[in-house]
Amino acid sequence: MSITLEDYGIMEALGKLGVREINNGTSTGSDWFGEGDLIDSVSPVDKQLIGKVHQTTREDYEKVMEKATDAFKQWRVMPAPQRGEIVRQFGERLRTYKEPLGKLVSYEMGKSLQEGYGEVQEMIDICDFAVGLSRQLHGFTMHSERPGHRMYEQYHPLGVVGIISAFNFPVAVWAWNTALAWVCGDVCVWKPSEKTPLTAVACQHLIAEVLKENNLPEGISCLINGDYKVGEWMTNDKRVPLVSATGSIRMGKIVAQTVAARLGKSLLELGGNNAIIVTPDADIKMTVIGAVFGAVGTCGQRCTSTRRLIVHEDVYDQVKEALTDAYKQLRIGNPLDQNNHVGPLIDTDAVKNYLHAIAKVQEHGGKLLVEGGVLEGEGYESGCYVKPAIAEAENHWDIVQEETFAPILYLMKYSGDLENAIALQNGVVQGLSSAIMTTNLREAERFLSHAGSDCGIANVNIGTSGAEIGGAFGGEKETGGGRESGSDAWKVYMRRQTNTINYTTELPLAQGIKFDL
């Protein structure tokens, strides 16, 4: 039975966020325009149409780029702490709207309400981080080899930053990029996933209010909507020096080549194939909680979801039993109902991919320890609810090597030394997140050493998902090599300049070269 929009306060949330039935999808701030075709925003929770958003036309896009390029001229000369003040105000706005925005994220994308609120909290956290950063953005000072010379590095803004985001983190990934880019002095043009256009419209309303209240020009924060073709306008556009793209490896390879062909910069955050290694010294209770949350949280649709569990033969049967028992407790259903652990997949295409992966495992002769399947009947009418599955599998199988964006956990055994487990873990093309469960210090340190995990994220006694914004986030190999969020990820959004100043009356050359006139 589908829920009414009044249930769970969704209508109220839509009202508070100002996302009406039909929304403009193109904006340069408070200016909204365009009459392009409509994209339907349909909830995977119950297949209800939540709203419609106008796609951006080529003409609209040109208008956006003009406004953004103009705004950059003003924004880049505003002192960084003043730009930080705007980000601070945006963070405050997000605090006020956390509840309705989190609810819309949950309903439009299908993640649990807690995860929807968590996503907005991540936006707030990155705003706080960026505010502090706005008083730093520091370079190095070096000693010159020439007397009476001073040498240092400084960072300048890049210009228009294009942000292409995926459906599974419909708002947080934009904030990770944009909060940093803004304090760095860049202006942003965001193309959200065509599967989650309404949350993007809601975010744009919130930032537009802040920009208007501060009398800032149109163009600092822009929104464009549509499918990959709209994304391609940005990747091909020389006016966009940096494209930050989050999504599948397939998409990332195309974006990387397109942007590189014009010698632009890209920041790529692509798919993962994340594993937890469970050693004989693991705390099994913690392991099970970490693995289950990692595998079924967001219905297996996190880039950091746990896809592979590599378990030592000495504890394999114990882990297998504990896991299968834990899966029996899972409640699958409406993610707005906080009693449920697992919500729907994003759409029926994702369900097909899930079924395809299970069929492939069976073709390979893999044993399903927890059978999957699509749920039918009351509450499951959208056709997007599936049962989280566990399969015994081998790492080299094609299907295990791929990222299937669904709750399927591959269980595999290792024997002998930890090196064997690390080899399995690293034996995939992706390199996003990894974890080891062990109480043995030596094992933990070996896992984190140069010869250990080859991923961008390596955790000890924590699952693979659930990153904090303080650290740089991203992965190696086909995950794309990009870093976003904390630490010094801000440097990607700026261009570096080395300055040497001569305060003498002589002109000595570097390397002692003589050039006398």
In this structure, are strands 494-502 and 430-431 parallel, antiparallel, or unpaired?
Answer: unpaired
Q: Rule CB under 6 A: choose which of 225, 246, 279, 382 binds ligand NAD.
A: 246
Task: Check residue 164 and give left, alpha or beta (phi > 0: left; psi -120 to 50: alpha).
Answer: beta
Nearer to ligand NAD (CB atom), residue 157 or residue 231: 231
Q: Are 476 and 428 in contact (CB under 8 A)?
A: no
Nearer to ligand NAD (CB atom), residue 270 or residue 458: 270
Nearer to ligand NAD (CB atom), residue 75 or residue 129: 129
Site for ligand NAD in 301-340 (CB under 6 A): 303
Verify binding: residue 121, ligand NAD, rule CB under 6 A. no
Q: Which of the ranges 117-125, 204-212, 229-237, 442-450 carries the binding residues for ligand NAD, by CB under 6 A?
A: 229-237
Structure tokens at 456: 């961008």
Verify binding: residue 274, ligand NAD, rule CB under 6 A. no
Q: Are 104 and 17 in contact (CB under 8 A)?
A: yes
Separation CA 206–CA 223 (nearest Å): 12
Catalytic residue, candidates 269, 402, 403, 443:
269
Q: Rule CB under 6 A: choose which of 248, 340, 348, 426 binds ligand NAD.
A: 248
Structure tokens at 208: 């537009």
Q: Which of the ranges 182-190, 249-257, 388-396, 501-509 carries the binding residues for ligand NAD, by CB under 6 A?
A: 249-257
Q: Rule CB under 6 A: choose which of 23, 193, 221, 306 binds ligand NAD.
A: 193
Cα atoms in the Cβ-side hemisphere of radius 13 Å centred on 375: 21
Q: How far is the CB of 145 from ligand NAD (least distance, A)?
A: 42
DSSP string computed for 40-72 = EEE-TTT--EEEEEEPPPHHHHHHHHHHHHHHH
CA distances from residue 71 to 68, 278, 503 in whole angstroms, order as listed: 5, 52, 36
Residue 358, helix vs strand vs coil: helix
Q: Are 150 and 503 in contact (CB under 8 A)?
A: yes
Verify binding: residue 167, ligand NAD, rule CB under 6 A. yes
Q: Rule CB under 6 A: choose which of 151, 254, 286, 375 binds ligand NAD.
A: 254
Q: Rule CB under 6 A: choose which of 227, 313, 321, 349 binds ligand NAD.
A: 227
Q: Rule CB under 6 A: choose which of 269, 402, 443, 478 binds ligand NAD.
A: 269
Q: For 52-142, where are the alpha helices, taking DSSP H only?
A: 58-75, 80-109, 113-133
Q: Rule CB under 6 A: choose which of 50, 126, 172, 270 binds ligand NAD.
A: 270
Catalytic site includes residue 127: no
Positions that interact with ligand NAD (CB under 6 A): 164-169, 191, 193-194, 227-228, 231-232, 235, 246-248, 251, 254-255, 269-272, 303, 403, 405, 432, 475, 479
Return the active site residues.
269, 303
